[in-house]
């Protein structure tokens, strides 16, 4: 009967202590709300509709790119580190949860004591348990571990999103370098034809050697640009190998092909909803919740705590006697710890945690501002690059006609050779500009997908995620 009375009293005290300190839920401050615009200002895309951006690279229909990103998601060292951090946070949640329930241990002993005149045996088996009840600190620590798990989960998503963007950017830059090699080689052929014409006219006595020298100079300048473009191909292959944790030779030589331009059908939700899809924003939000919970835990240390110890067992002089009447024993003990004097250490710890809450809120606001900037910049870049591509496509076609006409007129003796050189250089310049700009469009879309969170989804299964958020 007495143990029941003790347990009832302990339960009442536990309820009283637990109610001393509460942990508030996360809520965005007015200052944080004020930095979020009501709509996107950039002119690109549709700012009012939502679209899932998961596996955004698949819409490009680039099998090589999809394979590279899939490899990176499983083998990249940064992804592996983030996955390990997530497992660590999961285990930490279990550890914190264990402090909310009593701890029970089994015991057993056996021995013999001996003196000059006597000797005795003793054997015992039993269980003992303990339970510490504080003013909400253990529960606050548990909530902090929950928030840590959400932060680790979002941080993994942030790493995966960034790695996918890096792989895609390296792939686009590799394709660009390949195209630059192709453009230079095509112009090299044209310039070789111009050199042959100039050489023929020189040998025919129609012009002096100046035309030949100018033609050879232009040709060699173009030839000199090819090695650096080929070096960029290798450099981006090496980067892809690093990002996918492979040897460079494992990447192989990708076939030369036109850079894919992503479909221009992406639409966005309102800024507040869009930002919530960014894993870094979700991680920063979870960090605020963790800091708030640890502030609560620090405050709870200012209040008393109750520890209940109990044991139940059997003891006898032989193993066979265990369980006989009179061998049973039990005990229960309660103790209260009341902080009286600690030189202000506990109060200072509360101040430390409060400062950490403020710092976490500042990081959260910074994450919001960064997200807004990155999305707006990417949208603006897409619009600007799209306009530039339209003009450059017209310029390339005009430059091709001008170069062809100038070469034909020079061969017929109707055109000065400087016009041939000028039109050839113009053609090479605008073709290189178009190649770079089309690559920039793909890179701008990659920046946008990355800024949107890349379709990030929680790595926790649905049940785990719901449990964590309760």
pLDDT (0 to 100) of residue 6: 44
Full residue range of the structural domain in which residue 71 is found? 2-111+119-469
Is-contact 146 395, C-beta < 8 A? no
Check whether 68 has a pLDDT greater than 90.
yes
pLDDT (0 to 100) of residue 444: 92
pLDDT (0 to 100) of residue 62: 85
Check whether 19 has a pLDDT greater than 70.
no
pLDDT (0 to 100) of residue 151: 94
User: Could you tell me which residue, 47 or 391, shows the higher pLDDT?
Assistant: 391
Segment 144-165 shows an average pLDDT of 94
Segment 171-196 shows an average pLDDT of 92
The Cα–Cα gap between 441 and 173 comes to 12
Q: Which range has the worst mean pLDDT, 43-52, 93-102, 214-223? A: 43-52
State the virtual CA torsion across 276, 277, 280, 285 in degrees, nearest 10: 30
pLDDT (0 to 100) of residue 30: 84
User: Could you tell me which residue, 43 or 420, shows the higher pLDDT?
Assistant: 420
Those residues with Cβ within 8 angstroms of residue 130's Cβ, 6 or more apart along the chain or in another chain: 102, 103, 307, 308, 309, 310
pLDDT (0 to 100) of residue 85: 95
Segment 266-292 shows an average pLDDT of 88
pLDDT (0 to 100) of residue 344: 84
The pTM of this model reads 0.83
Place of tokens 């951090």: 85
The mean of the pLDDT values for the chain is 84
Return the percentage of the chain with pLDDT > 90, whole number: 48
pLDDT (0 to 100) of residue 265: 62
Q: What is the pLDDT of residues 302-342, one digit of tens each?
A: 888 888 888 887 776 666 666 667 667 777 888 888 888 77
Segment 286-293 shows an average pLDDT of 94
The Cα–Cα gap between 362 and 284 comes to 9
Is-contact 47 268, C-beta < 8 A? yes
User: Could you tell me which residue, 254 or 231, shows the higher pLDDT?
Assistant: 231
Q: Which range has the worst mean pLDDT, 26-30, 156-160, 170-174, 391-395? A: 26-30
Exposure class string for 94-124: b at 16+ Cβ within 10 A, else e: eebeebeeeeeeeeeeeeeeeeeeeeeeebb
User: Could you tell me which residue, 400 or 120, shows the higher pLDDT?
Assistant: 400
What CA–CA distances, in Å, run from 190 to 256, 407, 421? 20, 9, 11
pLDDT (0 to 100) of residue 7: 44
**Where residue 264 falls among pLDDT bands split at 50, 70, 90?**
low
pLDDT (0 to 100) of residue 466: 59
Check whether 102 has a pLDDT greater than 60.
yes
Highest mean pLDDT: which of 3-12, 277-286, 299-308? 277-286
Q: What sign has the CA pseudo-torsion 153, 157, 162, 164?
A: positive
pLDDT (0 to 100) of residue 359: 96
Segment 367-386 shows an average pLDDT of 92
Chain CA centroid to CA 293, Å: 24
Check whether 263 has a pLDDT greater than 70.
no
pLDDT (0 to 100) of residue 409: 93
Is-contact 330 167, C-beta < 8 A? no
Q: Which range has the worst mean pLDDT, 9-18, 62-71, 292-301, 446-455? A: 9-18
Segment 98-108 shows an average pLDDT of 83
Residue 267, beta-bridge partner list: 46
pLDDT (0 to 100) of residue 329: 77
Segment 267-288 shows an average pLDDT of 88
Provide the domain count of the chain. 1
**Where residue 24 falls among pLDDT bands split at 50, 70, 90?**
low
Residue 107, beta-bridge partner list: 126
The CATH number covering residue 148 comes to 1.20.1600.10
Check whether 176 has a pLDDT greater than 80.
yes
Segment 381-405 shows an average pLDDT of 94
User: Could you tell me which residue, 84 or 454, shows the higher pLDDT?
Assistant: 84
Segment 71-81 shows an average pLDDT of 94
pLDDT (0 to 100) of residue 465: 57
Check whether 16 has a pLDDT greater than 60.
no
Is-contact 402 423, C-beta < 8 A? yes
Segment 226-248 shows an average pLDDT of 94
């Amino acid at each position: 009967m007495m143990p029941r009375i003790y347990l009832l009293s302990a339960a009442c005290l536990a309820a009283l202590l637990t109610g001393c300190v509460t942990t508030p839920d996360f809520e965005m401050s007015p200052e944080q709300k004020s930095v979020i615009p009501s709509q996107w200002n950039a002119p690109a895309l549709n700012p009012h509709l939502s679209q899932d951006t998961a596996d955004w690279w698949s819409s490009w229909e680039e099998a090589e790119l999809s394979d590279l990103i899939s490899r990176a998601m499983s083998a990249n060292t940064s992804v592996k580190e983030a996955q390990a951090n997530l497992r660590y946070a999961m285990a930490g949640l279990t550890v914190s949860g264990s402090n909310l329930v009593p701890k029970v241990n089994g015991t057993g002993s056996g021995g013999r004591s001996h003196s000059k005149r006597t000797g005795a045996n003793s054997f015992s088996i039993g269980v003992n348990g303990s339970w510490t009840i504080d003013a909400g600190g253990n529960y606050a620590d548990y909530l902090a571990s929950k928030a840590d798990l959400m932060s680790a989960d979002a941080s993994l998503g942030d790493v995966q999103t960034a790695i996918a963007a890096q792989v895609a950017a390296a792939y686009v830059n590799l394709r660009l370098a390949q195209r630059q090699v192709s453009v230079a080689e095509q112009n090299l052929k044209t310039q070789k034809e111009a050199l042959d014409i100039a050489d023929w006219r020189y040998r025919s006595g129609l012009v002096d050697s100046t035309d030949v020298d100018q033609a050879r100079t232009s040709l060699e300048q173009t030839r000199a640009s090819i090695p650096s473009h080929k070096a960029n191909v290798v450099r981006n292959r090496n980067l892809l190998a690093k990002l996918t944790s492979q040897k460079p030779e494992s990447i192989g030589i990708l076939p030369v092909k036109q850079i894919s331009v992503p479909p221009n059908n992406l639409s966005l939700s309102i800024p507040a909803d869009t930002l919530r899809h960014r894993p870094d924003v979700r991680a920063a939000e979870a960090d605020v919740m963790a800091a708030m919970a640890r502030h609560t835990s620090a405050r709870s240390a200012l209040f008393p705590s109750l520890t209940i110890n109990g044991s139940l067992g059997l003891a006898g002089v032989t193993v066979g006697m265990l369980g006989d009447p009179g061998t049973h024993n039990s005990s229960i003990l309660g103790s209260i710890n009341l902080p009286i004097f600690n030189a202000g250490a506990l109060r200072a710890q509360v101040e430390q945690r409060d400062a950490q809450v403020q710092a976490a809120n500042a990081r959260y606001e910074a994450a919001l501002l960064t997200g807004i900037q990155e999305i707006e910049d990417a949208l603006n870049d897409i619009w600007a690059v799209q306009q530039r591509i339209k003009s450059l496509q017209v310029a390339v076609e005009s430059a091709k006609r001008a170069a062809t006409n100038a070469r034909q007129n020079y061969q017929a003796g109707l055109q000065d050779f400087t016009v041939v050189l000028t039109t050839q250089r113009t053609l090479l310049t605008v073709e290189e500009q178009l190649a770079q700009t089309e690559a920039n469009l793909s890179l701008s879309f990659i920046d946008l997908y990355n800024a949107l969170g890349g379709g990030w989804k929680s790595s926790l299964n649905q049940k785990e995620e719901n449990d964590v958020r309760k």
